[in-house]
Amino acid sequence: MTTESTAQKSGQPSFIPQFTPKLVTVLKDGYSLSHLRADAIAGLTVAVVALPLSMAIAIASGATPAQGLYTAIVGGFLVSLLGGSRFQIGGPAGAFIVLVAATAHTHGMEGLLLATMMSGAMLMLAGFFRLGTYVKFVPYPVTVGFTAGIAVIIFASQIKDIFGLSLSMPEPGPLLEKLPVLVEALPSASPASMVLAGATILAIQGLKRLNPHLPGMLIAVASAAIIAAVAGLPVETIGSKFGGIPTSFPMPHLPGFSMEKVQAVFPSAVAFTLLGAIESLLSAVVADGMTGRRHRSNCELVAQGVANMGSALFGGICVTGTIARTATNVRAGAHGPVAGMLHAVFLLGFILVAAPLAAFIPLASLAGVLAVVAWNMVEKPAFATLLRASRGDALVLLATFGLTIFRDLTEAIIVGFALGSVLFIHRMSQITKVETAVPFVAEDRADDDEGARQPYDEKRMNVPDIVIYRISGAFFFGAAASVGSVLDRINDQHKALIIDFSAVPFADATAANVIELLAHKAQKRNIAVFLAGAAPEVRRELSHHGLRPPHVRYEASIESAVAHAKQN
């Protein structure tokens, strides 16, 4: 029997369908001029957002603004061309700032490019070996914790430019070493830099409230550049620090290669691979939640790998799926991957036509952009909820958060995952019971042995517009992805969804988050959600995460849930 037939027989998709890019699927479905128009508008919208962000992230990472644009152009184009997500936008991401800056500082730019290329090869292998599914096993408190930790480090890295400080020594990377140096340099603060950074932050936030569809970041940065140039403010700009942005695109070249260099940057490449896989698949999941579509995680990893290798060839830095830009792409009305490809083309047009204008952009304004990015990265409601939910989830969250800030991101993810696993094992051991005098094969019993028996009424449970799902076993982060994919299949034709929790002995924060997202989407579709038979411990965990009436209704049994659903 062939590998392909074996895969089909086991229910697994064969190689070619699993790794066929979403672009091919979209084009096969039919691609009209109206689809191209929608993708062009969305691509332009995303490019406007990506333009200042790509430069700001590159500068914060120890690279040049031009390298940030090269990353967004090459990486963004390849991610959309080859990826397994319909709406994913690739490019430089804030989550990588800490790792990229540390690698560039330790191994130089050639070492960073080599690590990026090695990471691309690792991501491709991970996809081809179909390891993308296992990335979904990262517990929810770990993702919330390391994202919040990265946000703190990003903001700390921008304090120098926000205040326009003049340091007497190179700025240290670790937070505990950085803060004393920044405090010592406070007397050198530039009022002009502080005003520009503060005005940029206020403008972005104000425009977001006034009209979320406006490109607030680009408007704020462009306005700051005009004010600084016209008023002749004494602030550092892209032109004064980097000499501007080249008006041509670089030719591809391989980074310096040697076995000693490969061994030296190998830990950084592993860290890039781990974070890139997590970040890109989280971004794809966000797009799925916004659109009701499904991405192919392994195909997406292969595309991310090719994009990282391509970015390194042209002098760019790490590429990953970006949550904010992907969400912007969806909200702008994108039809498919062509939008992401066009966003890269529009950025290339900026380099070829308007690159000299970037020389006037103040670094303080870009620092203000990253300050807003850092603030938005923190999932504040989720962080607070996890702190209140249980001591175990709070421990995982705080350990990941603290290690991210004060130690190392890779170490934080590994320790957080290990703590989450130990916590799960501990919880499972508490609910495991051993029953005695139970035969291997149960004996036959008379129908009336269980007490009063109600006659079966087939009309009672057969209600076409009410769908019932039964979850059996522990509902935790390892099972949340598969359970969530099944529950998401409910369509608008149903008026009620009943989830039977009577066979669920335990539910954790990730599971509660899955049900909360499902309830939120069901509420938008006017579908009532009933949770039947939940044990007190399970109900308490779900309630901690906002699963309370009127969003969901708790019933003692499926029968009572069906009865109440019929009354609505």
- For residue range 244-287, list pLDDT tens digits in order: 888 888 899 998 888 999 999 999 999 999 889 988 988 888 78
**What is the arithmetic mean of pLDDT over 124-128?**
94
Question: What pLDDT shows up at residue 8?
Answer: 46
3-state secondary structure of 126: helix
Highest mean pLDDT among 4-13, 27-36, 434-443: 27-36
**What is the arithmetic mean of pLDDT over 113-122?**
97
Report the DSSP beta bridge partners of residue 242: none
What does the pLDDT look like over 427-481, one tens digit per residue?
Answer: 765 654 444 443 444 445 565 555 555 554 444 445 567 888 888 877 877 667 6
Name the average pLDDT for the chain.
85
Question: What pLDDT shows up at residue 319?
Answer: 95
Confidence of residue 394 (pLDDT cuts 50, 70, 90): very high
Confidence of residue 12 (pLDDT cuts 50, 70, 90): low
d(CA 23, CA 44): 18
| Token duo for residue 515 | 């049900």
Q: Please check the confidence at residue 194 and state whether its pLDDT lies above 50.
A: yes
User: Which of 198, 298, 305, 316 lies closest to 255 in space, CA to CA?
Assistant: 316
| Helix residue ranges, H only, 454-499 | 458-461, 477-487
Question: What pLDDT shows up at residue 548?
Answer: 87
Question: What pLDDT shows up at residue 2?
Answer: 42
Confidence of residue 6 (pLDDT cuts 50, 70, 90): very low
Question: What pLDDT shows up at residue 13?
Answer: 57
Q: Please check the confidence at residue 402 and state whether its pLDDT lies above 90.
A: yes
| Helix residue ranges, H only, 173-322 | 175-184, 191-210, 216-231, 238-242, 259-291, 297-313
User: Which of 418, 438, 427, 401 lies closest to 537 in space, CA to CA?
Assistant: 427
**What is the arithmetic mean of pLDDT over 228-246?**
89
* DSSP assignment of 491-560: -TT-SEEEEEEEE---B-HHHHHHHHHHHHHHHHTT-EEEEES--HHHHHHHHHTT--TTTSEEESSHHH
Q: Please check the confidence at residue 335 and state whether its pLDDT lies above 80.
A: yes
The contacts of residue 199 (CB under 8 Å, 6+ apart) are 220, 223, 224, 227, 368
Question: What pLDDT shows up at residue 92?
Answer: 94
What does the pLDDT look like over 504-529, one tens digit per residue?
Answer: 888 888 888 888 888 888 888 888 89
**What is the arithmetic mean of pLDDT over 171-191?**
88
**What is the arithmetic mean of pLDDT over 141-153?**
87
d(CA 318, CA 101): 11
All structural domains of the chain, each given as residue ranges with its CATH number in brackets, are 35-419 (no CATH), 466-567 (3.30.750.24)
Question: What pLDDT shows up at residue 4?
Answer: 42
